[in-house]
Chain A
């Protein structure tokens, strides 16, 4: 029965093909997409609860070309997160694109991306991961170029160039590992056994290449420029890709290679984590600092994503149990919070056609529910206790102090101050500035856009107050890999 693992991956692709070949009208299409996403969610649940720790080879040619699917605790967490957020994104996209023509491509590739990401999370070895990673690039490219304008093509081209260069680098890294080890399976704790000291530079090269390669998708500075350019795309795309699908897949891949291929012990031996830490610290500070300069709201959130991804990657390379839990917690919290923030900004753009910080003065009085949700999520991201962002920061900071480095919490707190600096002006302009004399015309807000925002905000507050079940699951994973 293990072949059922393929279903959650294949089903969305089938739906995508169906939508691609049959031009359907809007209501029917919405129903198809919603059914696809919901059913896929149930399939994922089925797989993770009934087929725990099962393993399935799709095709096996030799020890390198081996497409294998496996569900372990970490893949479970990620696929669950992604499937849930996809449902919300589907509802939001349906509301955003109601009464709009020629938006077929979006929903086709929306479903296809879901399949690619689930495939990524169910990968059983590095080769399958790499395959789905490349597939993800190609499947998300049409979403970038959705509007068919010159800037859209330019941003899509940029994204493609960055991604493919990244995957080339990681491919070289993968080949280097395969050369020495002979297998690419994911084993918690790493597949590298004792490394001889004279091989350190070899493994450092391999790790460095794979890290930078997968880091491109994960928004590692200096390879992050595709993220702000991607904000040209409409909001359902940016919300999905830059909060959940693409960037978190990059993080997922990074976690897999750090903990399941190389292993903490080996990486510390050849100082791979110091190499990664330099890039990560620059990412954290550069992301939040550059966000201060952006007037366009979506670009601001894009740079904010870069900075927050730095937090998550920090949790990964510091190699203490607390920091791993903190990093993974932040991955979950950030995904939910960021997607809500993007939804809010997109809703503002949809109803008022305003994109920039100086244009939204006083909009809190016209769209109170929306801006309240935005404020609550921003406060959570800034990390004021007792919200969700504070819990993950606490774990990250205590973990990095255990590691012995005092510099890291200082960077974290500096970035928290900068986060306040770029999120707070949005809230204060929306609520505390007076409306301009010529009041902007506000179309009515579609319920399908508002409901996901409110539900997700409620989720953020709840998991901020009661994070313990999540912490327990993540501690179990961290015990496995360290």
Chain B
């Protein structure tokens, strides 16, 4: 049997298990067993494929399906991602079966969990840019349903922002794909690099929209605004899928774009800059959060910054880029594993206590040894402590970064080094904050106990994953053998790396003691305090930039288009009313009853009866006291009445909070508008 068909089977097997959801014969437990069986089957097939992928890349083609055909490819990088996806999906699935216990929308959750899986696998295996886009959009739509699982107000807002940003990014990406096809006449990822060589600056116009599309998923600055909003209301297993796997799809997409532009140096600089901003900003914002999920959402953003930086280094280093390449893969794997542990751990807290705020869950970790250890391993893996896989990957990245920045001025090298150092210390600082608050203190949340049945499906999977985190930390050579990277010069436990880790930890502790303890905790009593989050008053990219901009455009464009919508009808009704007015003007034949009243200083009528009668007539005619143009207009209006005309604007953006930043921004926008009008009209 041809091995390439297995690639198609990896997608079709979970897809076919979806059919059980619609049939009425199958009950809940049966569906669960079938889904679990299909996930396990896929994982086993992936393991089976290992020796074949090791030998060489596997391809699968199905031309003429859906217009352009289906093209799948599996090389070592894609294989690693597929492997980690199938592994983490099983873990999260087992966790979900005991986390999602309320019957409401349970079927929908599992259905879309099982829809997202084959679309993600298909994404990782696609060799054709249109297949990539298709799987990407399907994955977005499927994961939307995981976000809005709870269906309350906040969740709906989160889902809305997620879907609008993702689909908006997808359409920008589609524009890039259209341009790509127009200029290179090919859609196959293998042929695009050759065609790209011939293009000039147009390749930036092509690749940047595509990067934007992937960047929304990968939480690249400034497209990261959906991240904290979506991670906190989503159920915890869904959040771990988002953080562990879906961000990797965005990163993988960006990597592919860099690859097909032959690792262009300008694009690499662009990605490197955004990576550095992500690292710093993510760490900084994570320090301040009180909500555990938001903390780790920003922590994800920070870790993604590391991966983006190392991907860009591949291009900057050129031929020596292979170390950066393997560093990125390793960090992707580490991040996936550690974030799974962490978010599943947060899920345990939310399931048991029902709250996400650090102020209400203090002391939860008391007397829960297994949970404590696994969560600690997750935190240590993120913070890059020696003995855990994060240490290995961060130092590989650091090594590659140092090699790359040595090619440039010492000023840049120092700046990058400082950002790297500070971000790592931020990571240590917020890890200490979380660990101390949840696990070291004894407080009112300590009395909560984890249910036995839930414990089995939550902490034990976390334990399994943490075993790998430790294993990869102690023996990284296992991973490199797995992936086929032979570089004997890789020594990780050197004095340099260990001492720099110590410095980072010390700085992290300093940040914790002098900033977090002093500024972020408000003490009511000797032992009683609560956390504050001053970032609510800071400049919020979404609230103070995106929303005012969209609101501004929306209102002005509505004004223009509602004018266009109605102007013909208004002209015709206006003409109608005018002629009706002309027709209603009465000329008086008899003037004998008129006299000049000196008292009122105007012309008055002796026969007031006539007046009254006339008034009654006019009242009967239109129901008005006096007939003039205004009243005629009022009665001539049809459905284009002014109150209908300035159409009821959707209340999405009209109730915006006006902070000082947004007011400044509105002023700026109006100023730009007037200046542009002035320039256009006076040219």
Contacts and interface: CB of A to CB of B under 8 A. Distances in A.
A432 B171 contact: no
B638 A154 contact: yes
Contacts of B483: none
B178 A401 contact: yes
B130 A282 contact: no
B174 interface: yes
A397 B638 contact: no
A289 B558 contact: yes
Contact of A384 (B137, B172, B561): B137
A436 interface: no
Contacts of A401: 178-179, 181-182
A459 interface: no
A293 B647 contact: yes
Interface in B121-145: 130, 133-134, 137-138, 141
Contacts of B148: 432
B171 A416 contact: yes
Nearest to B141: A384
B175 to A, nearest CB: 5
Contact of A290 (B133, B174, B175, B565): B565
Nearest to B130: A385
Contacts of B647: 290, 293-294
Interface stretch (A10-18, A21-29, A219-227): A219-227
Nearest to B566: A225
B179 A420 contact: no
A394 B172 CA distance: 14
Interface string A414-440: 101100110010001000111000000
Nearest to B209: A413
Contacts of B1: none
B675 interface: no
B648 interface: yes
Contacts of B568: 222-223, 225
A458 to B, nearest CB: 15
- Most chain B CB neighbours (cut-off 10 Å) among A222, A386, A397: A386
Contacts of A394: 67
Contacts of A265: none
Contact of B561 (A225, A286, A398): A286
A413 B650 contact: no
A385 B133 contact: yes
A216 to B, nearest CB: 11
B166 to A, nearest CB: 10
B100 interface: no
A292 interface: yes
B442 interface: no
A424 to B, nearest CB: 7
A54 interface: no
Nearest to B151: A432
B648 A413 contact: no
A217 to B, nearest CB: 15
A402 B134 contact: no
B558 A409 contact: no
Q: Is the interface of B mostly helix, strand, loop or mixed?
A: helix
Given A290-B565, A394-B67, A413 B175 contact: yes
Interface in B47-87: 64-67
A379 B134 CA distance: 13
B585 interface: no
- Most chain B CB neighbours (cut-off 10 Å) among A224, A293, A391, A434: A293
Interface in B538-572: 557-558, 561-562, 564-569
A397 B133 CA distance: 16
Interface string A381-405: 0001110000100100110011000
Contacts of B649: 293
Nearest to B64: A468
- Most chain A CB neighbours (cut-off 10 Å) among B66, B141, B151, B647: B66
A65 to B, nearest CB: 33
B590 interface: no
B134 A386 contact: yes
- Most chain A CB neighbours (cut-off 10 Å) among B133, B167, B566: B167
Contact of B648 (A295, A379, A385, A398): A295
Given A416-B171, A417-B167, A289 B561 contact: yes
B168 interface: yes
B155 to A, nearest CB: 9
Interface in B82-121: none
A82 to B, nearest CB: 26
Interface in B144-183: 148, 151, 156, 159-160, 163-164, 167-168, 171-172, 174-175, 178-179, 181-182
B639 interface: yes
B550 to A, nearest CB: 11
Interface residues of A, number: 46
A221 B564 contact: yes
A56 B303 CA distance: 74
B67 A391 contact: yes
A383 B642 CA distance: 35
Interface in B556-595: 557-558, 561-562, 564-569
A192 B566 CA distance: 37
A355 to B, nearest CB: 15
A420 B171 CA distance: 11
A433 B566 CA distance: 34
Given A286-B565, A417-B168, A424-B163, A292 B650 contact: yes
A467 B67 contact: yes
Nearest to B179: A401
Given A229-B639, A401-B178, A428 B156 contact: yes
Nearest to A400: B178
Interface string A277-315: 000001001100110111100000000000000000000
Contacts of B171: 413-414, 416-417
Nearest to A406: B179
A401 to B, nearest CB: 4
A20 interface: no
- Most chain B CB neighbours (cut-off 10 Å) among A154, A424, A433: A424
A178 interface: no
A100 to B, nearest CB: 26
A167 to B, nearest CB: 17
B133 to A, nearest CB: 6
A465 interface: yes
A289 B175 contact: no
- Most chain A CB neighbours (cut-off 10 Å) among B141, B159, B163, B569: B569
Contact of A409 (B164, B168, B178): B178
Nearest to A283: B564
Interface string A449-482: 0000000000000001101100000000000000
A424 B558 CA distance: 20
Contacts of B130: 385
A410 interface: yes
Contacts of B648: 293, 295
B558 A413 contact: no
A341 to B, nearest CB: 19
Nearest to B65: A465
Contacts of A409: 175, 178
Contacts of A224: 565
A359 to B, nearest CB: 15
B205 to A, nearest CB: 9
Contacts of A229: 639
15 contacts: A158-B569, A225-B568, A229-B639, A286-B564, A293-B647, A384-B137, A386-B134, A402-B182, A409-B178, A417-B168, A417-B171, A420-B163, A428-B156, A432-B151, A465-B65
Interface of A: 151, 154, 158, 221-225, 229, 282, 285-286, 289-290, 292-295, 379, 384-386, 391, 394, 397-398, 401-402, 406, 409-410, 413-414, 416-417, 420-421, 424, 428, 432-434, 464-465, 467-468
Give the 9 A-B residue pairs with the shortest CB-CB distance, closest first. Answer: A385-B134, A293-B647, A401-B182, A413-B171, A386-B66, A397-B178, A286-B561, A384-B137, A289-B561
Given A417-B171, A465-B66, 4 more contacts: A293-B648, A398-B181, A401-B179, A428-B160
